[in-house]
Amino acid sequence: MIARYTRPELGRLWTDEARMDAWREVEVAACEELAGLLGGDGPDAQELDAIRAASFTVDAVAERERVTDHDVAAFVDVLGASAGAAGRWIHFGLTSSDVLDTGLALQLRAAGEPIVAGARELTGTLAARAREHLRTLCAGRTHGVHAEPTSFGLKLAGFAFEADRNAGRLERAFAQVAVGALSGAVGTYAATSPEFEARVLARLGLDREDVSTQVIPRDRHAELLGAIALAGAGLERLATEVRHLQRTEVREVQEAFRAGQKGSSAMPHKRNPIKSEQIAGLARVLRGNAQAALENVALWHERDISHSSVERVILPDSTILIDYLQHRAIALVRDMTVDEARMRANLELTHGALFSQRVLLALVERGSSRDEAYRVVQELAQRAWDEGTPLRELLASDERSRDLDLDAIFSTTRTTCVTSRRSSRGSTGSPERDRPRRPRRLLASRQVTALADLPLIASGKVREMYDLGTAPERAEAALLMVASDRISTYDAVHPTPIPDKGRVLTGLSVFWFERTAAILANHMLSATDGVPTEARGRALVVRRLSMLPVECVVRGHITGSGWKDYQATGAVSGIALPAGLRESERLPEPIFTPSTKADEGHDEAIDFERAVELVGDRALMERVRTGSIELYSFAAAHARERGVILADTKFEFGLDDAGELVLGDEVLTPDSSRYWPADGFQVGRSQPSFDKQYVRDWAAASGWDKLPPAPPIPDDVVAGTRARYIEAYERITGEPFERWLARTGTE
């Protein structure tokens, strides 16, 4: 790559010196494992010291290559000579390709680090500017033609999430190319052995190719260049947006312009989008290189050398270029100026025609047929556009539309609220509070501390909460929520655990957190990263929130305390219900029935007004109610398809540092909900369930007076209870419970 587009860090990784350094690393690691290969023979300790100290210069290798006409052979000669007599062991049993391809894997792995870091930085920069402009209205355009108002922040949020996907792709693509082989001339280990290969690669920290020929198969390199080209295409989409928005007729965004910079040698007024044009241009080179990488896959038999010349160009060029382009894009996004006034002015270009759909819907809501409403709106919007009379005025003076609530129709509050919600992935926070959800990958990797060394900050009957503090870089304060296998019935904890109960509950919570993230942001960060080994599978790393002081219960069926209240008063939580409901019956619509959080004893049911008082923010409490009902409805519909009736459930919410509403706690588990098997469901009685019912039934028959202390649970009841929890997991997720254990690395 030409120097102009090469950042020094990446440039250094692809010099002749760096390439041979990688070969040297492979040769030395191979010598260190020779004794194992040769059954005790091989270099002795003194010889190994000499080999480790062996050196080369690029010039010396080049000179030797004029004799050998073979680069690796020349390199081995020079390196071997510098080690004296011990030099005879260097390259023992190896084929050139063993060194070339394994060395290449080391170079690619080194290139991956700054590139993935740059991809993350771009995501963060886009997310920050998206937050800044969540409420900056601008025209949304399809086909280049104004469509409806949107917000500039929503546009940027789309780019931020794309950048996050590309960061993930790059990380995976670099990981799968960090693979070496020392398998000889045709992959049969003629002079080495698979064990030798495994030990050398372990020293180098590389994975092993399952079946290599003379070379590492080139589909791996093609995958990497595909991921790089796709990341480049994302940068080009971003650059193209900026180029469009900087056109004279649009002029909503400008690239930063340095003092002293000249836009044109001949036209002093020019400020051109040169950075984004450069990004758009060079992204094309990346796509060309990806094509060449695909051509490299089909080598002849155990190898030919057609790929080698291509790779000398495309691997340095594509890695250097994507690194350069990412940093250009970071500067572009960070420094661009956004002309909000111009965005507003452009929104007025169509004199309100952008609101046509909302007028159409208002007319239909009021009783017009869709066809008739469409004709009216099309006619008036066209006149607004053509004559320049605001659509709103035309509507006010037209008898067919005079009575509409025009304030509501032409309000943009809804647009900014909704765009804010979308860019925070559906959070129901207020516009001021809303932030785009921080892409998960931006979170720094967490250190793992033993459970016993973590400060315990809260402890419940069946679970514990530990403080993980604040991880470095961008990550926020986090907690570790650990579910135990303890079980409580009638408010007392039994001395007998139910094996795997904590894991089932955690697995279910994770399933639901993942499935409902688009409805409402939640506190889950990871079920693996930062989880101590001894808590695998039953612990979650979560964001630290400031918890709201109410429990948020949603009921779809009338049961438990709700059934008692209904029998006594005909209402639950101040909500009057139809007369004549029978126990366990499904309600016409789910109801929101908050309660207090009691440290000791029972939570107390409260009505919505009391919840507003406790929380101190009516709008927030409304969002809590709407969000709770949305979450429950989604989950109940899903559960019903899997043979589970989700009778009711309890959520807990908190606010994050930015004041955004976030779902906390464990969610939609048999401990926080009632799970009834759909087969066997019958109204007019209490239901069997997938949770502690087994233990309760046994307790009822055993003569226990339900006062603490709770008695030990016999083995058969433990087994029956465990089986029901696991069945709940498998019904809901549709996956074997072992899958959860495997996913979390649980023994």
What residues act catalytically?
Answer: 143, 264
Rounded distance, CA 517 to CA 535, Å?
24
> Taking CB under 6 A as the rule, does residue 545 contact ligand PZK?
yes
User: Is residue 463 at the binding interface for ligand PZK, with CB under 6 A as the rule?
Assistant: yes
- Which of residues 39 and 455 has its CB atom nearest to ligand PZK in the complex? 455
Q: Does residue 157 interact with ligand PZK by CB under 6 A?
A: no
CB of 546 to ligand PZK, least distance (A): 7
Distance CA 158, CA 256 (A): 22
| CA–CA gap between residue 460 and residue 695 (Å, rounded) | 20
Contact criterion met (CB below 8 Å) for 455 and 467: yes
625 touches ligand PZK (CB under 6 A): no
Give me the least distance between CB of 661 and ligand PZK, in Å please.
Answer: 12
Angstrom distance (rounded) from CA 112 to CA 171 = 7
Residue 76 vs 554, nearer CB to ligand PZK: 554
Helices (H) and strands (E) in the chain, counts: 25, 23
Q: Please provide residue 387's backbone torsions phi and psi, each rounded to the nearest 5 degrees.
A: -95, -15
- Say whether residue 479 binds ligand PZK (CB under 6 A): yes
Q: Is residue 542 at the binding interface for ligand PZK, with CB under 6 A as the rule?
A: yes
**Angle formed by the axes of helices 693-702 and 715-733, nearest 10°:** 160
The reply to whether 481 sits near ligand PZK by the rule CB under 6 A is yes
CB atoms within 10 A of CB 638: 17
Question: Which amino acid, residue 325?
Answer: L
To ligand PZK, the closest distance from the beta carbon of 574 in angstroms equals 26
Neighbours of 606 (CB within 10 A): 19
By CB under 6 A, residue 594 contacts ligand PZK? no
Q: Which stretch binds ligand PZK (CB under 6 A): 60-68, 544-552, 554-562, 729-737?
A: 544-552
Given a contact cutoff of 8 angstroms between Cβ atoms, the answer to whether 74 and 64 are in contact is yes
502 makes contact with ligand PZK (CB under 6 A): no
Look at the alpha carbons of 632, 634, 635, 640 in this order and tell me if their dihedral is positive or negative. Answer: positive
Instruction: Judge contact between 225 and 219, C-beta under 8 A.
Output: no
The CB-nearest residue to ligand PZK is 460
35 bridge partner residues: none
Of the candidates 294, 418, 444, 465, which one interacts with ligand PZK according to CB under 6 A? 465
The reply to whether 363 sits near ligand PZK by the rule CB under 6 A is: no
By the rule CB under 6 A, 454 interacts with ligand PZK: no
Nearer to ligand PZK, 180 or 664 (CB): 664
Among positive and negative, which fits the CA dihedral 259, 326, 231, 16?
Answer: positive
Angle between helices 501-516 and 715-733 (to 10 degrees): 20
User: Closer to ligand PZK at the Cβ: 6 or 649?
Assistant: 649
What is the DSSP code (8-state) at residue 446? P
Rounded least distance, CB 592 to ligand PZK, Å: 20
CA distance 49 to 27: 13
CB of 454 to ligand PZK, least distance (A): 13
Footprint (CB under 6 A) of ligand PZK, residues 638-667: 654, 664-665
Q: Residues near 244 by Cβ (< 8 Å), separated by ≥ 6?
A: 144, 250
**Distance of closest approach, residue 461 Cβ to ligand PZK, in angstroms:** 9
b/e string for 503-539 if b means 16 or more Cβ within 10 A? bbbbbbbbbbbebbbebbbbbbbbbeebbbeebbbbb
Q: Does 547 bind ligand PZK (CB under 6 A)?
A: yes
Of residues 97-116, which lie at the interface with ligand PZK (CB under 6 A)? none
Spell out, one character per residue from 664 to 693, where the chain touches ligand PZK: x when CB under 6 A holds, - when not.
Answer: xx----------------------------
221 touches ligand PZK by CB under 6 A: no
Q: Identify which of residues 538 and 543 has a Cβ nearer to ligand PZK in the complex.
A: 543
- Of 108 and 663, CB closest to ligand PZK: 663
User: Which run of H or E residues covers position 574?
Assistant: none
Does position 438 interact with ligand PZK (CB under 6 A)? The reply is no
Q: How far is CA 589 from CA 408, 584, 636, in A?
A: 28, 14, 12
Number of residues counted as binding ligand PZK (CB under 6 A):
17
Piece in contact with ligand PZK (CB under 6 A), picked from 91-99, 267-275, 540-548, 614-622: 540-548
Task: Show the site string, 517-536: x = touches ligand PZK by CB under 6 A, - = not.
Answer: ------x-------------
Binding site for ligand PZK (CB under 6 A): 458-460, 463-465, 479, 481, 523, 542-545, 547, 654, 664-665
